[in-house]
Amino acid sequence: MRKTIVALIVGYILFGAAIGSYLFFLTDTTIPEQYRGTAADPATFMDERELTLSQDYATVRNLLFFLSTPYEWVLLFLLLIVGLSRKIKVWSEATTRFRSLQILVYFFWFSLLTSILSFPLKWYGYSASKKYGINVQPFSNWMKDYMIDYWINFLLTGLIVIVLYTLIQRSQKRWWFYAWLLSIPFTLFLTFIQPVVIAPLYNDFYPLKDKELEAKILALADEAGIPAEHVFEVNMSEKTNAMNAYVTGIAGNSRIVLWDTTIEKLSDDEVLFIMAHEMGHYVKKHILFGTVGYIFVTLVGLFLIHKMMNTIVTRWGHALHIKNMQEISSIPLFFLLLSLLSFIFLPINNTVSRMHELESDKYAIELTGDNTAAVMTFQKLSKTNLSEVNPPILVKIFRYTHPPMLDRLHFLESYGQPVIEDN
pLDDT: is 283 or 114 the higher one? 114
Long-range contacts of 148-157 (CB under 8 A, 24+ apart): 148/201, 148/202, 150/111, 150/115, 152/198, 152/201, 153/111, 154/107, 154/108, 154/111, 156/190, 157/107, 157/111
Residue 43: inside a domain, yes or no?
yes
Give 250's pLDDT tier (boundaries 50, 70, 90).
low
Spatial CA neighbour of 361 closest among 351, 370, 352: 370
Residue 49: inside a domain, yes or no?
yes
Task: Give 166-187 pLDDT, tens digit per residue.
Answer: 999 999 899 999 999 999 998 8
According to the model, what pLDDT value does residue 73 have? 96
Overall number of domains in the chain: 1
Rounded to 5°, the CA angle 290-73-393 comes to: 55
Q: Are 44 and 37 in contact (CB under 8 A)?
A: yes
Work out the number of other CB atoms within 10 angstroms of the CB of residue 333.
25
Task: Give 28-47 pLDDT, tens digit per residue.
Answer: 888 999 999 999 999 999 99
Residue 415: inside a domain, yes or no?
no
Residue 122: inside a domain, yes or no?
yes
Residues assigned a catalytic role: 278
The pLDDT of residue 422 is above 50? no
Mean pLDDT (the chain) is 90
Range of the domain at 126: 2-202+286-402
- Percentage of the chain modeled with pLDDT above 70: 96
Residue 251: inside a domain, yes or no?
no
Say which range, 15-24, 27-36, 248-257, 407-416, has the weakest mean pLDDT.
Answer: 248-257
The pLDDT of residue 421 is above 60? no
The pLDDT of residue 274 is above 60? yes
Rg (CA), the chain: 24
pTM: 0.89
Task: Give 198-208 pLDDT, tens digit per residue.
Answer: 778 888 888 88
Residue 80: inside a domain, yes or no?
yes
- Percentage of the chain modeled with pLDDT above 90: 70
For residues 380-388, average pLDDT: 91
For residues 211-233, average pLDDT: 84
Residue 52 pairs with which residues in a beta bridge? Answer: none
What is the Cα 144 distance to its own chain's centre?
20
Spatial CA neighbour of 378 closest among 277, 234, 239: 277
Residue 106: inside a domain, yes or no?
yes
Task: Give 313-340 pLDDT, tens digit per residue.
Answer: 999 999 999 999 999 999 999 999 999 9
Residue 409: inside a domain, yes or no?
no
